[in-house]
Amino acid sequence: MEVLQLVVYGIVTGSIVALGAIGVSLVFSILRFAHFAHGDVMTVGAYGALVGVTLIGVTPMVAIPVAILFAVVAVLVAEFCLYRPLRSSHPVILLISSFGYALILRSAIQLVAGPAPQVFKSGIQIPYRFGEIVIRPDHFWIVGGTILIIVALHLFLSRSKFGKAMRAMSDNMDLARISGIPAYRMILITWVIAAALAAVAGVFLGMDTRLHPVMGWRLLLPVFAAAILGGIGRPYGAIAGGFIIGISMELSTMVIDPGYKHAVAFALLVLMLIIRPTGLFRGTSL
């Protein structure tokens, strides 16, 4: 039963990691650089939801639109002030600039909200029991919300005009431009979607644990490990990678200290880079 309980925790963790990894893959597939500020955008979203919970008095799930607004503003500021002027530079320059922007976001959150951990709501949740398996109500919201978002994203990429345009840009940006696709508009849409996914992942992470200025930074390694495991630039691969990483991290606590479970994500990342560098689904296009 302990294994099943850990699998449940792994599915919850995997849901959060998968949402973050999808955003990383979307950005890489269109812009061709690793966005190291993605974890801190998750933190911005989580604290945005905290603003909604505190000022409006709604639940974290209802405050998700506020979280998305905060995250979208954060990435659009970076796009217009930082990434767009540097887009013609080498991808490594963009990567380094995103790392610097991550430090800016983290420091800003610490200055405004303080360094102490916070929670959306205090008190003890009464869990549901299925035999010896215990599931918190928030876990149902996290997994159910992730499934709905994945289905919505699939329909967007496969059926909508903008989704098809994003896939075309992912395959060949120059050909997409010649075909009349508004490239910069699609870049902005990619940022908005990635920020929204990061915001929801941040809210879910805050619901599962607690809010802290470095919460997103700590999850960045599992998120990138999931994206690379599934095939960088492949959102569907990121979903599979997220659940593999999440379940592996939680199961590893049977044999190692829980404080080291993030090292499992690193180990899987290194193993995948050695055995199959392109990932399970051979990135890098939608």
Q: What is the pLDDT of residues 158-211, one digit of tens each?
A: 888 888 888 888 877 778 788 888 888 999 999 999 999 999 999 999 999 999
Q: CA–CA separation, 283 vs 286, rounded Å?
A: 8
Cβ atoms of residues 46 and 206 within 8 Å: yes
Q: How far is CA 184 from its chain centroid?
A: 23
**Residue in 151, 226, 20, 158 with CA at minimum distance from that of residue 166:** 158
Give the chain as a 3 state SS string: CHHHHHHHHHHHHHHHHHHHHHHHHHHHHHHCCCCCCHHHHHHHHHHHHHHHHHHHCCCCCCCHHHHHHHHHHHHHHHHHHHHHHHCCCCHHHHHHHHHHHHHHHHHHHHHHHCCCCECCCCCCCCCEEECCEEECHHHHHHHHHHHHHHHHHHHHHHHCHHHHHHHHHHHCHHHHHHCCCCHHHHHHHHHHHHHHHHHHHHHHHHHHCCECCCHHHHHHHHHHHHHHHHCCCCHHHHHHHHHHHHHHHHHHHHCCCHHHCHHHHHHHHHHHHHHCCCCCCCCCCC
Q: Which domains does the chain have, with CATH numbers?
A: 2-119+141-275 (1.10.3470.10)
pLDDT tens profile 114-154: 999 999 987 677 888 888 888 899 999 999 999 999 999 99
Query: What is the token pair recorded at 43?
Result: 């933190």
Place of tokens 């303080």: 114
Which pTM was predicted?
0.93
pLDDT at 285: 52
Q: Would you place residue 282 in the very low, low, confident or very high pLDDT band (cuts 50, 70, 90)? A: low
Q: Is the pLDDT of residue 38 over 90?
A: yes
Average per-residue pLDDT for the chain: 90
